[in-house]
Amino acid sequence: MRHKIPQVTLICLTNQDFEGHKDAIDESCKDIEFGAVKLIWDEKCNSIDKWNEKIIKELPNYVTTSHALLVHADGYVSNPELWNPEWLELDYIGAPWPLPTDDYSYRDEEGGLVRVGNSVSLRSKKLMDLVATRPMEYHYGNNNEDGQISCWNRKWLESQGCKFATLEQAVHFSKEHEIDENRGIMNTFCFHSI
């Protein structure tokens, strides 16, 4: 059965491994018809810091649908039949993060533990537009774009009405790490290799 998700733009942004990213797009489109599909090649995206900045500041410029599904060469839709339309009620859902072994990783602005993040994610245009207006803050342990969104701007985004997925929702959306909460869950909608 082919799913139709006109509210979602499938998107990736890169300047390396074009074929790998194209394959990720192609795999993600099997049995799903998205509202738009965009593979953005950006020569200026030549470091992880530049990539993070471009995802935060420029990704919203490419999205006119209510949500975007950001994928990578090493993370994309693997089980399209597991699509859940209830995820469109959220502003951010990604794979669950493991419990940190330190006192700074996966923490929000107030030091609270954050268990749901990951860059292979479904995110609302509303959230992307809001984050693009914020200065990027650099804190050891959460500097990537998913940390900027899910950790360092989380409380502020929630105060703006954004809704993040619960851990229980995220374990069915995607898998990056083996954690207690996803043991026994054989398949997820997406995955992200570590």
pLDDT in tens, 121-136: 999 999 999 999 987 7
Whole-number Å distance between alpha carbons of 169 and 76: 17
**Two tokens at 103?**
């006192």
Structural domains for the chain: 3-192 (3.90.550.10)
Q: What is the pLDDT of residue 104?
A: 83
Whole-number Å distance between alpha carbons of 62 and 9: 9
Compute the average pLDDT of residues 178-182: 90
> What separation in angstroms does the CA of 56 have from each of 60, 61, 148, 167?
8, 10, 8, 23
pLDDT in tens, 85-134: 999 999 999 999 999 998 888 998 898 999 999 999 999 999 999 999 98
State the chain's mean pLDDT as an integer: 92
CB 192 within 8 A of CB 119: yes
